[in-house]
Amino acid sequence: MLIVPIRRDGGGPIYAQIYEGIRRMILENSLPVGSKLPSKRKFAEHLGVSNTTVELAYEQLLAEGYITSKPRSGFYVQDIGELAYAQPADDQKAASPRLPEKKKYRHDFSPGRIDTGAFPFDEWRRQAKNIIDRASADFLLLGHPHGDPELRREIAKYLNHSRGVRCTPEQIVIGSGTEQLMPLVIRLLGPFTVYAVENPGYPLTHHLFRQNDRMTVPISVDGQGIDVGVLEESGADAVYVTPAHQFPTGAVLSANRRNRLLNWAAEKPGRIIIEDDYDSEFRYGGIPVPALQGMDRHGRVLYLSTFSKSLMPSLRIAYMVLPEPLLERYSELFAHYSSTVPRLEQQMLAGFMADGSFSRHLNRMRKVYRRKYIALTAALGPYAGLVSHEESQAGMHLKLTVRTSWSAEELVRLAADAGIRVQSAAAYSIVRTEREFLPEIVLGFGSIPENDIPGAISLLMDAWGIKKDGTA
C-alpha cells in the first residue's frame, strides 16, 4: 500500500496532500509507469479518510495526466515523459525563432472574435481628441493603483443600472485583462485555497490556476449550469463560475442553483464565488439575467468582467469588484502596485461611457449580434435531424451536437479542409468521461458577416456529409 504522509493540523486540504504525495512519487519514479494505484475504497480505509477525499485526489491526478483510468480495472501511472535539454548547433544559435504561420480560413467561427466592422471609430477618435486637448502634466504621472476614479465611477454606474451589481467605485479594480487580474485574486485568497471550476469551462482560467500551483476540482455542468450538489461535496473553498451564460455550453445558472450556490458560500467562513460576467451584455430574448453579485448579502461574490466583447479585445481593460471583506486585504497586499492600464486609455473609456457612447454602441451591437444569431439558427434549421443546439438566445457562440460517426476532432479537421474554422467543445473539458457522447462543436458567430452565414453553414454541412433533409 502507498505511504502518503498527511498532516491534519494546518497542512492544507487532505486530498491536496494525497495528490501532492502521489504526484511527487511519480515525478521521482518511485511509482513507475504502469503501476496500479490502490482502489479508492481501500486507499481511503488505509489512510483513514473518506472515499470522496481520495476520489478528489485521483481526479486531480487524472486531470493533469499523471494517471489514467481503465474501465473496470482501476487507476494506473501514466507515462509523462521527460524534459529534454538539447544544445543548439552553432548555426542555429543566431537563427531567429520562427512563429508558426496562422492558417487562413474562408469562414472563422472562433468564439473569441467580434464584429470589427461595427466599431464606432468616429466616436472613439473624438474621445481621443478630447483627452489630448485637455491633457495636463497630471496625466504623465501614475494614477490611483486601482484605476482612475473617473473610470471606476462610470463602471460602477453601468454595473448598477445594467447588471444589478451593488458596489461603490472604491470596490472596483481596473486591470489589463482577466489574465492579469486573476493572478492577483489567486494571491489574495491565499496559498491553500482549493478552487472548483466548471467542466467544461474557460481554458485560460484553468491554465492560470495550474500556472500558480493551485489545486482545482472540476465540477460538471448541465442545462442548469454548474452542479452545485457536486460542488457541496468537493471540499473547495472558492468556485469560478460563468452564471449568466456558461462557456461553452451556453447554460444559464438556474434560480434554484443560484440560491444554493450563495448558501454554499455563506455556510463557511472564507468561501468565495468568482463570477465571470464575460458577455452578459448580449441577450436576445427576455430580460437580461441579473448578476449573481446583486443577490449576495454576505460579501462572498467577487465579480469579474471585461470590455473585450463589448468593445474590443485589444483595449486590454477588464475590472473586478471586490467584496468589502476582501477590499482592505487587497489594498494592503498590493499597496505598491500601479495600475497596468495606461491612464489616457482609461480616460478615453471613461468619457466614452459618460457621454452615452458606450450605451449607444451596446444597443447597436445587440441588434447586430441578434441578427447574426437568428441567421445562424435559421441556417441550421434544415439540418435539425442530425444537428441540434440549445436555444440560449445569448452571447456570441452556439454549441452544436452532431449525430454522426465522426469524432469531434475529425469534424474540426473536415471543416478546416473546407476552409472553415470551428472548435471542439471537448477542448474546454478538464476531465473527460469514459462514456461515449455525441461530438459537440462550438460556433462563434461574432466575426462572421451576417450575409455569409447561410453559405458558411451550407459549406460546413457539406464538409460533414449532412444533407438538408437531416440525413447523412
**Residue 12 burial by Cβ neighbours in a 10 Å radius (0-12, 13-18, 19+):** middle
Domains, the chain: 14-77 (1.10.10.10), 107-116+363-464 (3.90.1150.10), 122-358 (3.40.640.10)
CB-based contacts of 461, cutoff 8 Å, min separation 6? 383, 387, 467, 468
Task: Check pLDDT > 80 for residue 123.
Answer: yes
Q: Which of 98-112, 126-140, 331-345 has the lowest mean pLDDT?
A: 98-112
The predicted model gives 368-385 an average pLDDT of 94
For the stretch 403-460, pLDDT in tens is 999 999 999 999 999 999 999 988 888 765 544 578 999 999 999 999 999 999 999 9
pLDDT digit string, tens, across residues 24-82: 888 888 888 888 999 988 888 888 888 888 888 887 787 667 888 887 888 888 876 54
Residue type, 434: E
157-193 confidence digits (pLDDT tens): 999 999 999 999 999 999 999 889 999 999 999 988 9
Average predicted confidence (pLDDT) for the chain: 87
Span of 54-63, 142-151, 195-204, 305-314 with lowest mean pLDDT: 54-63
Model pTM? 0.78
When pLDDT is cut at 50, 70 and 90, the band that residue 472 belongs to is low
420-421 and 107-108 strand pairing: parallel
Rounded to 5°, angle at Cα 164 from 158 and 333: 75
Task: Give 407's contacts (C-beta < 8 A, 6+ positions apart).
Answer: 439
What are φ and ψ of residue 369, in 5° steps? Answer: -75, -30
pLDDT score at 256: 92
Q: How much is the pLDDT for 90?
A: 44
Enter the C-alpha cell of residue 340: 497596468
> Between helices 357-380 and 453-464, what is the axis angle to 10°?
40
Name the E strands within 21-165: 67-70, 74-77, 107-108
| Confidence band of 10 (pLDDT split at 50, 70, 90) | low
Q: Which candidate, 272, 269, 206, places its Cα nearest to that of 64?
A: 206
Cα(133)–Cα(129) distance, integer angstroms: 6
Residue pair 17/11 in contact by the 8 Å Cβ criterion:
yes
